[in-house]
Structure 1
Amino acid sequence: MNDLPLLTIMMVVPLVGAAVIALLPAGSARLARPIALGTSLVTLALALVAWARFDSGSSERYQLTETHSWIPQFGVSYAVGVDGIALSLIVMAAILTPVCLLAAWNDLEGTPDGDDPKRTKTYFALMLTLLTFMVGVFAARDVFLFYVFFEAMLIPVYFLIGLFGGPRRQYAAVKFILFSLAGGLIMLVAVIALYIYGPGGEQGFLYEVLEGNVGGSTAAQRWMFIGFFIALAIKAPMWPVHTWLPDAAAEARPATAVLLVGVLDKVGTFGMIRFCLGFFPEASKWATPVVITLAVISILYGALLAIGSRDIMRLIAFTSISHFGFIVLGIFAMTSTAGNGSALYMINHGFSTAGLFLLAGFLIARHGSQRLADYGGWQRVTPVLAGTFLVAGLSSLALPGLSSYVSEFLVLAGTFQRYPWVAAISTLGIVLAALYILLMYKRVFTGPRPTFSDAGSGVTAPRDLGLRERIVVVPIIASFLVLGIYPKPVLDLVSPAVQQTLQLVGVSDPAPTNATGSAQ
C-alpha cells in the first residue's frame, strides 16, 4: 500500500468539488464554472503525479494500490490500483475533463431556462461527479467495486443527456439507460457466478486472486465469458448492440458526447482485456473467431453508416463504432503488437473523437443545425475552425504523422501475424475512413462563400474560433502530434500490462515466416 492514497484522492477531489457547486447559493451560481474547472485541474495534477510515481519497469501487476475490507462475508474489498493501461486511461480522462469543461463554458446560454442558476450548478456538478466514477472504474481492483462504478456512471450521463441535451434528449437518455442497464444486469449474473466459481475468501473478488483461478467446468467459464462480453460489447459499443450510441451522441451536449464516447465507452474494451482475457483464457480462445468477425463487421458497418449519415454528430458517432472495431480486433488478435496497438488506440481515439465532437459543437453553436446539407463554404468564413477540424479529421482517418496512424498500424500489423486475411479485409476500413472524413469536410467547409444575411437584416457572418475555443483546441491538436511522432512513453506504459495479459491467456506471438511461408 502506498503512503499517499493517490487514486482515492483523485476520486474524492472531484466529488467534493461537485458537492461545493451543488451547495452554492443561487446568487453565486456563476462560480460553478471556475470551481469545476479548478477542481478538474487539481485532479489532472494528481493524475500526472500518479504517472510520475508509476514504475513501468516493475514486475508488480498493479501499482499505487490500496486494499481495505468492505464486505468480507462476500469477498468484497475496497481495492484500487492500476496497471499501465488503466493509468493511461485515467490520465486521458483527467486531461479531457478540463478541456470539456472549458468547451462547455457557455453551453447553457441561449437555451430554455439557460439562465437558471440551478441548471448551471447541476450541469457542472454532474460533470465532476462523472469524473469521479471514470477514475473509479479504471482504478478498481475488485470486480464488485468495478461493477458499482460501472453502474454508477450511468446516473450522471443519463441526467446530462436527459436534462441538457437536444430536442429528442429524453428518448436518447432512456435508450441509453435501457441498453446500459440490460448489459449491467447480464454482467451482474456473471459477477455472481464468479463468486460461486471463484476461489472465495475475504478478498475473493480481487483481480489478482481471480486471474487464472476461476474454477467451474468449461461450459460454466464460457457462459461467464459471454455474460461479461455482452455487457462490455454494449458499452464499447460493437455491432449489433451499438444502436444507442448515435442517438445519445447526437442529442448530448458536445462535451458530454466527448466524455461518453471518448472515455466511458473505453470501459468496454478495457473490461475485455481485464475480465474476458484475464479471467477466462480458454473461453477467450474459444470465442475469438466470433469476436473477430463482429469486430470486422463493426469496422466496415460503422464506416458505411458514417458515409451515409446526414447529421454531423451522428456521423462522428458512427466513426467511433468503426474505430472500436479496430480496438476489439487488436485485443482478440492476441499478439503483443496488436495488443499494444489496441491499448494505444484507446487513448488516441479519445483525443481524436474529442477534437471532432468539440469542433462540431463550436460549428453547430454558430449555425444552429446539425445537418450537413445546411453548411458549405465555411472555410471562407471561419478558417481557423476549418483548419483545426481538418487536422482532427485527418487524425481520425489515421494520416501518417498523427496519433491514430501508429495505433491503427500496430493493430493491423499484429493481426496480420495471426490472421492475415482478417487484417487484409480490415484495411478497407482505412479507405472508408478517408471517404467519410473528407466527404464531411467537403460538404461543410468547401465551396463558395455562404450567404448569412439578406440586405438590411443586420445579420453578420459567424465569427471564427475565439480565445477560449482556441485554448480548448490546443491540447487536443498537441496530442495528435505528440502521440503521432513520439508514442514511446505511452507504449512503454501499456506494454508490460499487454504482455502480462497474454501470459494469462497462454499465448505467444507467432514465429516469423520466410518468403515460402515456413517458420524461421
Structure 2
Amino acid sequence: MIFLENYLLSLMMLVPMIGAAFVLIVRHQDKEIEKRNIRWVTLLATLFTFALSIVLWMGFDGSTADFQFVEKYDWVGDSISYHVGVDGISMLFVVLTAFLMPIVVLSSWESIETRVKEYMIAFLLLETLMIGVFSALDIFLFYVFFEGGLIPMYLIIGVWGGLNRIYASFKFFLYTLLGSVLMLVAVFYMFIETGTTDIPALMNHHFDADIQNLLWLAFFASFAVKMPMWPVHTWLPDAHVQAPTAGSVILAGVLLKMGGYGFLRFSLPMFPDASQHFAWLIFGLSIIAIIYTSLVALVQEDIKKLIAYSSVAHMGFVTIGIFVLNANGIEGAIFTMLSHGIVSGALFLCVGVIYDRLHTREISRYGGLSVNMKIYATTFVIFSMASVGLPGTSGFVGEFLVLNGSYTYNSWVAFFATTGVVLGAAYMLYLVRRLVFGELDKDDVKAMPDLSLREKMIFLPLIIVVFWMGIYPNSFLDPIHASVENLIETKFPVVAAEVVAEEATAAASH
C-alpha cells in the first residue's frame, strides 16, 4: 500500500500507456480475433486505471487542503520538474476521467470496425494526458499535458468522424491551440519573474496588479476556448456533430472541464486581484452564453448539436459559480462540472445508440420510441431530467449551489442565470417529446430493437451515479470543501469576511 501511495498517480498514467503498448503488438491471422483482442486489452487497461482511481478516492483525506499523493522528480534542469499530486479541487476530476474511459471503450465495441488498433491507442494515450492535466503540479508539465490532449482528440475526430470531420477537427485544433499560445507566453513570463514553474510556489507568489491583469487575460484566452465560453464556442457544435460517439463523450465529459479546472487552479489563486477585477466580464459572457445558446438549442434539428449547445449553456453556469468567489458558488461549479461530465456523456451515448440503428441524427426522423424501445426511452428521459436539474438527480445539486452562491453575490446575476434553468427545461422537454413520445408511424423506426445487454451495461453505472450524486451529494462535496475554503480564505479574505459577517447577522436576526 505504501508503494501505491507513493506512486499512485504515476501508475494511473502509466497503465493506459502500457495498455497502448500491448494493443500495438497484438497480432492474429484472423482480423476479427485481432480486433476482439485489441478491444479486451483496452477495456482491461481502462478498468484497472478506474480501480486505481477508487484507491485514490478512498485514500484521500478530505479534511485538509494540502496536496496529496505527491511525487516530485527533477525533469528539465533544476527548475522544471515532474511534479504531480491532487487536492480536493482536482481529485474527483481524475476519478471522473477514469470512470468514463471503460464506458467509452464499451460504447465503441461494435460501432468501430476500421483501424480499431489506432482508435484504441488514441483513447488510451488521451486518458494518460487527461489524468496528467488534473494532477500536474508544475505549470510547464501542465501545459504539456494540456496541449498534448489535442493530438489524440484531433485524430479521433479527423479519422473516425462524420462527413465533415476534417473541417471540424482542424477548427477544434486551431481554436484551442491559438488560445493556448497566449497562456504559454504568460507561463514564460511567470518563470522569468519567479524563477520557478512549481504551481504551489506560484500560488503563494504575489504578482503586481497590472501584471496580474495581463497574465489573467492570457490564461483566460486559453481556458475560455476550452470551456468553451461565448463567443469562442463555435468549434464545439461542429466537433460534437462530426466526432464518433466515444469522442463526443470524452469531449463533453472531460475535455470541457479542463477550462473550468484551469480557472480554479490558476486564475483564482495566482491572480486573485485580476479575478475580482474581471468578474463582470465573466458574468456578462456567461449570461449571454446561457440565454443565447439555450435559444439556439431550441431550434436545432440535429440531436448532437442540441446537446452540444446545451453544454455551452451549462458551462456558463460553471463560470458564474467559479467567479462569485464564495464556497457555495465554487463547490456548485465543481459539482456541476462532475454532473455534466456524467449526464452529457450519457446523452451522447443515447444518441449513439439510435444512430447505430438508423444512421441519422435528425430529430424529425424519430418519434414514438417509448412504444418499441421502452428501456431506451426510460434511460433517455432519466438523463434528460438530470440535464434539466430535476431534484433527486445530480443536475439539481450543482445548479442549486451555483444559484445560491450567485444570489449571495448579486441577485441580478442569479436572476439571469435562472433563465438558463427555464430555457434548459424547454429545449430538453421539447427534444424528449419529439424523440420518445408522439406517434410511431415510420417503419424503419418501428424495426429498431431496444437496448442490448452491452448497452444496458454501459448505461447502468451512469444512472447509478446520477442518482447517487442527487440523493447523497455530500460524498462528493466533502472532499472538495477544505480546498475551496482554503482558496477563499487565503486569496479572497475580504470576500470570506463579508460572508462570515452576513452569516452572523442572519443568525442574530433569527
Do the aligned partners of 1:307 and 1:315 also contact (CA within 8 Å) in 2?
yes
* Residue 72 of structure 1: how far off its partner (Å): 3.0
For residues 121 and 249 of structure 2, what CA distance do their matches in structure 1 show? Answer: 17
Aligned length: 499
Q: Is the 8 A contact 1:212 1:280 kept in 2?
A: no
Aligned to 2:165: 169
Q: Which residue of 2 aligns with 1:334?
A: 325
| 1:70 to 2:75 alignment | yes
* Aligned twin of 2:485: 499
Corresponding position of 1:212: 204
Please name the residue that 2:502 is paired with: 512
Q: Distance in 2 between matches of 1:174 and 1:127?
A: 19
Residue 478 (structure 2) pairs with residue 486 (structure 1): no
1:84 is the counterpart of 2:125: no
Return the alpha-carbon distance in structure 2 between the equivalents of residues 146 and 492 of structure 1. 26
Offset of residue 214 of structure 1: 4.0
Q: Is the 8 A contact 2:85 2:135 kept in 1?
A: yes
Separation (CA, whole Å) in 2 of partners of 1:515 and 1:224:
37
Give the partner amino acid of 2:450: D
Tell me the equivalent position of 2:175. 179
- Tell me whether 1:244 sits opposite 2:235 in the alignment: yes
Contact 2:6 2:70 in 1 (8 A): no
Cα offset, 1:512, TM superposition: 2.9
Which residue is equivalent to 1:273? Answer: 264
Aligned-partner SS, 1:427: helix
Question: What's 1:456 paired with?
Answer: none
Contact 2:6 2:71 in 1 (8 A): no
Task: Please tell me the residue identity of whatever aligns with 1:173.
Answer: S
The one-letter code matched in structure 2 to 1:334 is L
**Cα distance change on mapping 1:79 and 1:514 into 2, 3 Å:** closer
Residue 369 (str. 1) matches residue 360 (str. 2): yes
SS in 2 for 1:77: strand
Q: Within 2, Cα distance between the matches of 1:26 and 1:419?
A: 63
Deviating more after overlay: 37-46 vs 494-503 = 494-503
Q: How far 1:504 sits from its partner (Å)?
A: 3.4
1:475 is matched with which residue: 446, 456, 461?
461
Corresponding residue for 2:380?
Answer: 389
**Local SS of the residue matching 2:84:** strand
CA positional deviation for 1:505: 2.3
Normalised to the residue count of structure 2, the TM-score between the two structures is 0.95
Aligned residue number for residue 13 of structure 2: 11
Take 2:179 and 2:221, find their aligned partners in 1: how far apart are those partners? 7
Show CA shifts across 1:166-197 (max 9, x none).
Answer: 11111100000000110121111111111122
1:490 partner amino acid: F
Change in 2 beyond 3 A, CA 1:519/1:167: farther
Match of 2:393 among 383, 391, 402: 402
Q: Return the offset for 1:287.
A: 0.6
Q: Do the aligned residues in 2 keep the contact of 1:412 with 1:427 (CA within 8 Å)?
A: yes
User: Per the alignment, in what secondary structure is the counterpart of residue 81 of structure 1?
Assistant: strand
Deviations 1:384-407 (A, max 9, x none): 111100100000000011111001
Structure 2: which amino acid aligns with 1:16? I
Distance 1:41 1:87, change over 3 A: same
User: Could you say what secondary structure the match of 1:4 adopts?
Assistant: helix
Using the TM superposition, give the Cα deviation of residue 138 of structure 1 relative to its aligned residue in structure 2, in angstroms: 0.2
Amino acid at match of 1:78: Y
Q: Indicate the residue corresponding to 2:342 in structure 1.
A: 351
Tell me the distance in 2 between the aligned counterparts of 1:514 and 1:224: 36
Q: 1:103 to 1:266 in 2, by over 3 A?
A: same
SS of 2:75 mapped into structure 1: strand
TM-superposed deviation, 1:4: 2.9
Identity %: 38
Correspondence 1:95-494 to 2 at 5 A = 95-109=99-113, 114=114, 119-198=115-194, 200=195, 204-215=196-207, 217-452=208-443, 461-494=447-480
Code of the aligned partner of 2:54: L
CA distance in 2, matches of 1:29, 1:96: 21
Higher share of residues assigned helix = 2
**Residues 42, 105 of structure 2: 8 Å contact kept:** yes
Query: For the residues of structure 1 that align with 2:221 and 2:509, how far apart are their CA atoms?
Result: 37
Alignment of 1:26-41 (within 5 A): 27=29, 28-41=34-47
The secondary structure found in structure 1 opposite 2:448 is: coil
- In 2: Cα distance, 1:179 partner to 1:374 partner: 33
Superposed CA deviations along residues 263-320 of structure 1, whole A, max 9, x for unmatched, are: 0110100000110001001111111111111111111122111111111001101000
CA distance change for structure 1 residues 419 and 108 in 2, over 3 Å: closer, same or farther?
same
CA contact (8 A) 2:225 2:259 kept: yes
Quote the offset at 1:460 in angstroms: 6.9
Q: Is the 1:341–1:409 contact (alpha carbons within 8 Å) kept by the matching residues of 2?
A: yes
Q: Deviations over 1:120-164 (max 9, x none)?
A: 101111111111011100000010000000010001000000000
The aligned amino acid for 2:70 is T
Contact preservation (8 Å) 2:180, 2:221: no
1:513 Cα offset (Å)? 7.5
1:514 CA drift (Å): 10
Q: Which runs of 5+ in 1 are unaligned?
A: 454-458
Q: 1:44·1:95 contact (CA, 8 Å) conserved in 2?
A: yes
Counterpart code for 1:66: E
The answer as to 2:15 corresponding to 1:23 is no
Q: Residues 277 and 504 of structure 1 are in contact (CA less than 8 Å); yes or no, is this contact kept in structure 2?
A: no
Partner SS for 1:159: helix
Q: TM-score, normalised by structure 1?
A: 0.93
Shift of 1:515: 11
Distance 1:515 1:497 in 2: 26
Report the secondary structure of 2:502's partner residue.
coil
Q: Distance in 2 between matches of 1:415 and 1:230?
A: 23
Change over 3 Å in CA distance of 1:314–1:71 after alignment to 2: same
